[in-house]
Amino acid sequence: MPPRAQLFALVCLATICGVGATSAPTPDDQALPSDIESIGSALSSPDHRPVHIIYVHGINQVGAGDSSALRDAICDKLHLCNKSDWKSTPPDFPDQGEFAPNMDPPPLEYLGKPVWKTKDEWFDAAPFVAHWAIQLKGYSSPLVVDEINWWPLVLALKCEHVVKSEASLAGPDKQLLGVCSDKSKQDPDNLGRFHAWLSPEDAAQLAKKPERAVLINRNLKTGLVDWGFSDAFIGVGPLAQIIRDGMRQLMTKCAQIDPNGLDKPNRKNYDWKKQLNSGSATDQTFIGVTHSLGSYLLFNTMNLEDSSVGADDAQSQETQSEKAFEDDAVQYIFERMSLIYFFANQLRVLEFTDLEGAPAAKGASPHVAGAASPPSTQHFNALVNRWSKYRQNYVQRNLGGSTPPAKKVAIVAWSDPGDLLTWRVPPIDDVEVFNLYAHNAIGWFWLFESPLGAHDNYAKNKAVLRVMFPNR
């Protein structure tokens, strides 16, 4: 636990007298059917096909490695491996459209100031995907965790306009000042591209400012609200399209990862294009695991490009070819994905920003010259139903028949009732939705549960893990 989280927990404990603790029972709201797919059942496939977890982190992210809690828990809590068994490969970055080499930054502004001022800043803000692979004990198929990291895209806004400003109001958050200015704090494993959004000198001066707000309020505001929930506002604003474009390109990297020889310098790529529209047996399986805002962003990748814009221009035709490739990769992954796990989610709240029936937005795209046109944005419900249709078409091709499969795709959503930033997933037309309770942190006298623990500890919760890996 980070030092500020430890201090926060101790002060809260002292505030409510510090003796005794209770954990209220949190029974499942809805039992899962016995035939629902899980990570464990996918790994037991007789044809030994690789199983990919597409892992998308949520709000409040500091650096890469959010999937490490899940990867470590699979080894430590379920005893299916040793942590040293995980093999990794260098991360992949988007490299097309606005993310192509030497591109100018998108002309987005915040209160009249550019979000990214130089090509170097924009290059360093690129999202990336890290890959880990393992062969778990007792399972026939290899497991790949594809961890999509979109957090670099929001650092420029948060460091300059939230962390820096808050130092003069509530008081400095020294941990976050370090994240914004020091590579060892921002990306200690050297997976992304580092940029000092605050100079070390500025960070040192800001750290000397007085702490004006009381401790608990200050930690909640600078951490969970400023650094955390601000991601939700950024993620559904104009930056959402750029996050989406980056994630779509990273999905193409996930589709081609072959777990065999993943840790070798000259790893081979899987030729997923050959399997896209085939009627052959399943070649790979994908399962989504998302945390909070990550669920919203994952489904947003299914917004397709408008292929009619600029079709006569040679550069636009090249761009459309790139986007068609991304559309194919997204289709390939989602039609081989029958299940997505949500660790907390903000769908009910975020959909308030995208009410159906509203007129289409007009205005210039935030993209740079040569990048894709804005997508024909669809609402969340339509995107989830697109996933269902992808899956149905895929199963029909493999069965060689025309009757739609009776089994629906499924969302299994966990929420700790003490988590301040999760809501139940509403019913969705062609999808089975299972809302389950989790209890991720100790409750004190039925008065208090750590907000950080309640929101962050889903992947460490053994009851959650046993649903993902039944009978373990």
* Chain centroid to CA 267: 25
| Contact predicate 445/18, CB 8 Å | no
What's the pLDDT at 371? 43
Is the pLDDT assigned to residue 373 strictly greater than 60?
no
175 belongs to a structural domain: no
222 belongs to a structural domain: no
**Average pLDDT in the 407-432 region?**
90
235 belongs to a structural domain: no
The mean pLDDT of the chain is 84
User: Is pLDDT larger for residue 304 or for residue 297?
Assistant: 297
* 313 — pLDDT class (breaks 50, 70, 90): low
227 belongs to a structural domain: no
Is the pLDDT assigned to residue 62 strictly greater than 80?
yes
Could you tell me what percent of the chain has a pLDDT over 70?
A: 83
What's the pLDDT at 445? 65
Q: How many residues does the chain have?
A: 472
Domain that holds residue 460: 3-113+121-152+240-468
3-class secondary structure per residue, the chain:
CCHHHHHHHHHHHHHCCCCCCECCCCCCCCCCCCCCCCHHHHHCCCCCCCEEEEEECCCCCCCCCCCHHHHHHHHHCCCCCCHHHCEEEEEECCCCHHHCCCCCCCCCEECCEECCCCHHHHHHCCCEEEEEEECCCCCCCCEEEEEEECCHHHHHHHHHHHHHHHCCCCCCCHHHHHHHHCHHHHCCCCCCCCCCCCCHHHHHHHHCCCCCCCHHHHHHHHHHHHHHHHHHHHHCCCHHHHHHHHHHHHHHHHHCECCCCCCCCCCCECCHHHHCCCCCCCCCEEEEEEECHHHHHHHHCCCCCCCCCCCCCHHHHHHHHHHHHHHHHHHHHHHCCCEEEEECCCHHHHHHHCCCCCCCCCCCCCCCCCCCCCCCCCCHHHHHHHHHHHHHHHHHHHHCCCCCCCCCEEEEEEECCCCCCCCCCCCECCEEEEEEECCCCCEECCCEECHHHHHHCHHHCHHHHHHHCCCC
Query: How many domains is the chain partitioned into structurally?
Result: 1
Range of lowest pLDDT (15-29, 69-83, 355-369, 404-418): 15-29
11 belongs to a structural domain: yes
What's the pLDDT at 145? 97
What's the pLDDT at 154? 96
Is the pLDDT assigned to residue 53 strictly greater than 80?
yes
C-alpha neighbours within 13 Å on the C-beta side of residue 381: 11
296 belongs to a structural domain: yes
64 belongs to a structural domain: yes
CA distances from 10 to 128, 212, 348, 396, 444 (A): 36, 20, 32, 56, 12
pLDDT in tens, 374-389: 455 667 888 999 999 9
What's the pLDDT at 269? 86
* 17 — pLDDT class (breaks 50, 70, 90): very low
290 belongs to a structural domain: yes
**Average pLDDT in the 329-333 region?**
95
